[in-house]
Amino acid sequence: MKKSENKALSHYRSPLIAGLIFLAVVLWMLSGVFRDPDSHQVTEAAAKQADELATVRVLDSHHQVIRDQVIISGRTLADRSVSVKAETDGVVRQLHFKRGDRVSAGDLLAELAIESRQAGLQEARSLVERREIEFRAAQQLRQQDSISQTGLAQARAALDSARAQLKMAVSEVERTRITAPVEGLIETRDVEEGDFLSRGTPVATVVDLNPIRVKGFLSERYLNRIEVGSRAEVRLINGSVHEGEVTFIGRVASAATRTFPLEVVIDNTDGAIIEGLTAEITLFADELSAHRLPSSMLTLNDNGTLGVKGVSGENRVVFYPAAVVRDTPEGVWLTGLPESARLIVVGQEFVGTGQRVGTAPYKGFETSGDRE
């Protein structure tokens, strides 16, 4: 009986042991206690590769104090352009100018035929002489009490009227002599000798080119950075450069362009600058602190903000928002950066903010030697 029980127990023990062995194998596979040596080496190599730092090339940049500049386009204009017109009717008897002549204020340009004006002038003078005699006689009579005070007043009024008529006759004769109202150059000649002119007919155009104005349009973003009296530099299309001063900034913007008219005055004593030339106006605003850097360093962060990437003291990548204040062939001038910073010149596209990096110096750009 006992022997039979031992045989039955041995019959159930074998499957139990097999099940325990199977369970142990499954636990071993899941726990990863036993690993393949080659697999362990691959894992270590991958971890080591992940720990290696990306290397970027950096530039030690320092700020410089520069004068802010705003560059706009413009064109030259005469300081004054005056249309000379006839002030009375008459026939042109003689012209004393031709186009291109330089004239001074008061120079005689044309003479009209005096005709009956001379006779009218002589008649007015004779009338004044007669009225003066009558007034003196009235004064004597009044002293003798031979006429009333009213009679004396009438004589005085008659004299004043005669004098006014003489003044008008003199002015009418003077109007036959047409003179230049300002100094400048004769730009147009609108009449010829023998022409009949009515009052208001154009005779000539005189342009004053000294000083000369340069007109441009200032963007609203720069309106508060430039003021009347600011220094300006004008480069003409022929390459000549002239110093000037802002004399006018409009306060009403163009509806189409949202820009404000601006004028700069420059000296033109020699008359070399003419009207209508294309010009580049450089306006100088306040001084500011800026870094000059290669334009290739500019990048955008995830929010679309323009700036440059740098390296902190812990060799981690940082992003500096920046604004471009000037773009030159030698590089862009940026504001918004620290006074001194290590900035990434090469490799900024492959590293992210906060990432630890290795650094190597960049020698391909000189930050010194460009002084304002």
- pLDDT, residue 345, reads 93
CA distance 74 to 282: 10
pTM for the complete prediction?
0.57
Per-residue pLDDT of the chain in tens (372 residues, 90 and over written 9): 444 444 444 555 556 666 666 666 556 565 554 455 554 454 454 444 445 688 999 999 999 888 778 889 999 999 999 999 999 899 999 999 999 899 999 999 999 988 777 778 888 889 889 988 988 888 888 888 888 888 889 989 998 998 998 888 888 888 889 999 999 999 999 999 999 999 999 999 999 999 999 999 999 888 888 889 989 999 999 899 999 999 999 999 988 889 999 999 999 988 889 999 999 999 987 778 899 999 999 999 989 999 999 999 899 999 999 988 888 888 898 988 999 999 999 988 899 999 999 989 988 776 644 444
Strand order in the sheet with 108-112: 177-179, 108-112, 90-95, 196-197
* Closest to 343 measured CA to CA, from 371, 332, 178: 332
- pLDDT, residue 369, reads 40
**Residues 343, 309 contacting (CB under 8 angstroms):** yes
**Residues 75, 277 contacting (CB under 8 angstroms):** yes
- pLDDT, residue 24, reads 64
Beta strand 259-266 pairing with 241-249: antiparallel
- pLDDT, residue 16, reads 60
- Residue 315's SS3 state is coil
What would the DSSP string read from start to end of 73-94?
EEEEEEEEEEEEE-SS-EEEEE
CA distance 343 to 362: 10
Tokens standing for 69? Answer: 């500049």
